[in-house]
């Protein structure tokens, strides 16, 4: 059994959440499994191996869990991309569409230095709207974003292609057929 097969079994699928027709890939069952969590972070570190990066950026909320664990694993700092109204300082923001709604991400641009090479991390890549918004924000703040890593990809939703159009190479550990 591969690491992907192993981890896939730990991810719970919940039909019709948060809307009818969505098959929600729920990572809470993976997070609650000590060895599953350790192997997911090790898997992300394997995908990041050889990438030339200075920091890790993670997307609220589920991307914070994997992103901060990966940053600690790699000995790098963590940059949070936050949902609206959470940061206590001036922010830049990007609105985007999700598989099941609309959302916005915000960033404190002073957290990055010009030319800082940032690896984007999230739990799941679906349409790619979230990761594209995160990439735009980090680039607006002077960051260089060439790579993104995810625990899960839903390839039929086309997120990796959208990121490729922005010259961001997406890699993931587990793929799920369908959406
Ligand atoms: O590729 P996309 O179509 O943009 O979808 C992927 C995003 O959707 C989920 O986040 P959600 O906004 O549900 O937030 P959460 O992490 O706070 O649950 C997931 O954690 C990704 O961030
Ligand atoms: N199908 C899905 N399951 C979990 N998170 C998601 N984010 C976007 N689509 C999702």
pTM value? 0.97
Residue 5: the pLDDT is: 84
Per-residue pLDDT of the chain (179 residues; tens, 9 = 90+): 677 888 999 999 999 999 999 999 999 999 999 999 999 999 999 999 999 999 999 999 999 999 999 999 999 999 999 999 999 999 999 999 987 889 999 999 999 999 999 999 999 999 999 999 999 999 999 999 999 999 999 999 999 999 999 999 999 999 998 76
Closest residue (by CA) to atom 5 of ligand 1?
126
What's the gap in Å between 110 CA and the centre of ligand 2? 30
The pLDDT score that the predictor gives to residue 98 is 87
Boundaries of every domain in the chain:
3-175
Looking at the CA of residue 25, tell me the nearest atom of ligand 2: 3
Kindly give the distance from the C-alpha atom of residue 26 to the centroid of ligand 2, in angstroms, as a whole number: 8
User: Who lines ligand 1 at CB under 6 A?
Assistant: 59-63, 98-99, 103, 122-131, 159
CATH 3.40.50.2020 fits 3-175, yes or no: yes
pLDDT score at 99:
77
* 3-state secondary structure (DSSP) of residue 93: strand
Residues 6 or more apart in contact with residue 160 via CB below 8 angstroms: 125, 128, 153, 170
Give the ranges where the chain is alpha helix by DSSP (H).
3-8, 28-31, 34-48, 62-74, 129-140, 159-165
Residue 179 Cα: closest atom of ligand 2 = 1
């Amino acid at each position: 059994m591969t690491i992907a097969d192993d981890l896939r079994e730990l991810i719970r699928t919940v039909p019709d959440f948060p809307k009818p027709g969505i098959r929600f890939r729920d990572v809470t069952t993976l997070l609650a499994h000590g060895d599953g969590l350790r192997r997911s972070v090790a898997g992300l570190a394997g995908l990041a191996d050889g990438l030339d990066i200075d920091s890790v950026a993670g997307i609220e909320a589920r991307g914070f869990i994997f992103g901060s664990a990966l940053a600690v694993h790699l000995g790098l700092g963590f940059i949070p991309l936050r949902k609206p109204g959470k940061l206590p300082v001036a922010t830049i923001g990007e609105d985007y569409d999700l598989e099941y709604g609309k959302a916005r991400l915000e960033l404190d641009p002073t957290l990055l230095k010009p030319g800082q090479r940032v690896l984007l991390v999230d739990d799941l890549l679906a349409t790619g709207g979230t990761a594209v918004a995160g990439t735009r924000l980090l680039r607006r703040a002077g960051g260089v974003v060439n790579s993104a890593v995810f625990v899960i990809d839903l390839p039929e939703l086309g997120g990796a292609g959208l990121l490729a159009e922005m010259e961001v190479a997406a890699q993931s550990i587990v793929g799920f057929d369908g959406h």
